[in-house]
Structure 1
Amino acid sequence: MSVAETREFNPGLFLAGGPLPVGSLSPHLLILNQPITSFEVFSRLWKHTQYRICADGGANRLYDMLDGTLKAAREDYLPNAIHGDLDSLRDDVRQYYTSHGVEVSQDHDQYSTDFGKAMKKISLIHSPSSQREILVLGTLAGRIDQGIGLLHEMIREETRDTKLRLWLFSESSVSFILKSTHNVIRGTASTGFFTENIGLLPIYGPAIITTSGLEWDVKDWETQMGHQVSTSNHIAAEEIHVQTSAPILFTVERTPLATSVQTRVDPESA
C-alpha cells in the first residue's frame, strides 16, 4: 500500500496541552447547539483552531458555559462568527457577542440544518483545492434522530468535499470517518487521552474490513448493521490499521481531562 493510498489519523493531537506539530493544518472549530460537557476539552480544541464558529444556539452554549468561576474568561473566548437561521440564539447572547465585534449572520434556508449552514459559511474562507480539518463540538446523546442526523451530515460533507476531514468530539468519545482505503490511527494507546475502547461502525452501509492493532482483529470480515459489527473492541497496539471497502465510523472513548475551572484561563496556554 503506497503512502498516497493511506489516510492517517491522530486524534490525540487536538487534546494535547502543547502546540500542534510543525507543518500541521490549523483546524477550525464548529460549536453546535448542544451541552458543552468539558471545559478542558473545549479549551484545548479552541487553542488548536484558527477559526471558531457557533452554529446558531451553539453561541448560547458557549456563553452559558463561561459563567460562574469562568465568567472572567468569557472575553478570551470570542468566536469569529455565529451563523444559522438564528431561531435559537438568545437576545442577551446576541447582544453580548455583537458588542464585542463578533459577526452574526443569518441563513433562512429551510432545507438545511444549522450544521449545514455553518459548514457552508466555513467553506467561504477556503479555496476549493485546500485541505480542511474541522473539529465539531457536539453530542450523540439526547434525541436519537438528531444524533443520527449529525452522523449523516458528516458523511454528506466529506463526500461533497474530498479534502475535508471532520472530527466529532462528543461527551465521551472522538469519532471520525474511515474511507474505503488503508487507514492508520495513531496516538490512541500512549497519550493517556483515550481508554482502550473503540468501535468500528458500518452505519453508512455494508463494508468488508481487515484490521490490525486491536484485541479482536479481523480479516476480510463482512460488517453490516443488523448483522455482525465490531463494537466494544479494544486497542492493543500504538498503531491501528483498518482497510475497509466502504466508509465506516471509527469511535474511541476519551479519558477525562483534569479540570481547572476555578481560575481565569488563558486560551493560549490552556
Structure 2
Amino acid sequence: MSSLEKSLMILKRLGDSPYELNLSELASHVGMGKSGAFKLINVMKKHNFVIQDPSSKKYHLGPIMLRLGNVYSRFKGIEQIAKPLLFRISKSFQETTYLTIWEGDRAFPAYKNSVKDGIYEYNDFIGMSLPLNSGASAMVLCAYQDPGHIREILGSMKLEKRTSKTMTDLDQLMDEYRIIRERGYALEDETFSLGILSIAVPVFDKDRRVWSCLALAAPKAHATDGNVDEWIQALKEGAEELSYNLQFRH
C-alpha cells in the first residue's frame, strides 16, 4: 500500500466516529509503525487536512476538509443547473456552449453541450487545463482575477502561440484583460484555433468574485454582427440566471 493510500485511509478513518484518534490508533489502522504514521500525519497537518488537539494530543480533520466539501457541494449544484442552461443556449443558436471554472492558477472546462456537426462535437476537452493567453473562457477568467497574481502566473510559464493571432507578450495580454473587464465579456477571434470564434462572460458570486464563466464557440463563418450580439446577450442572461439559481447573488 502506498503512502498516499495510507494517508487517504487516515482521513477516511477520522471521518468516522469517534472523529478523533491518537497516533497509536491511526498507525494501527493503516498497519504501520508510529514513526511512519507520524511523518504522514505531519504532512497532512502542514496543509491543514489534519489538526492535533493540544490537550488530548489526538488528531481530527482540519478546516480544509470543510472547504473541499463545500466545493464539492457547490459544483454538484452547478451540474444540475448549468447543464440544462447550456443545452438551452446551444439549442437556440445551434452552437457549442460550455462552462469553464477557475482553480487557483488554471482554467478548466467543466461542462459542455455540443450540437451535431458543431465545434468540439468530438473533442472532449472537459477537465483539461486551458492556455491562459488564448480562447475566450480562459481570457475572461484571467481578466477578473487579481492582476498582480495573473502577471506572476503568466511570467512563470512559456506562453504558447497557438495561431498567428495568439498573444504572447505579457503587457499586451494584461491590457487585453483590462479591455475585457471594461466591456464585460471576452470575444476571441482565432486565437485558440483557426476558423473558430468564441465568446465568454463571467459568472459572479455574491462577493463579485469570478470563479467560472459561460462560453459559446462557433465557426467564424457563422458570425455576423447581429448574431454575435445575440450570443453575447444570451450568455449574459445565462450567467445571471446561473448566479441567481445558485444563490450567489440576491
Structure 2 length-normalised TM: 0.28
Choose between structure 1 and 2: higher strand proportion: 1
Larger Rg: 2
Structure 1 length-normalised TM: 0.27
Higher relative contact order (CA 8 A, sep 6+): 1
Choose between structure 1 and 2: higher helix proportion: 2
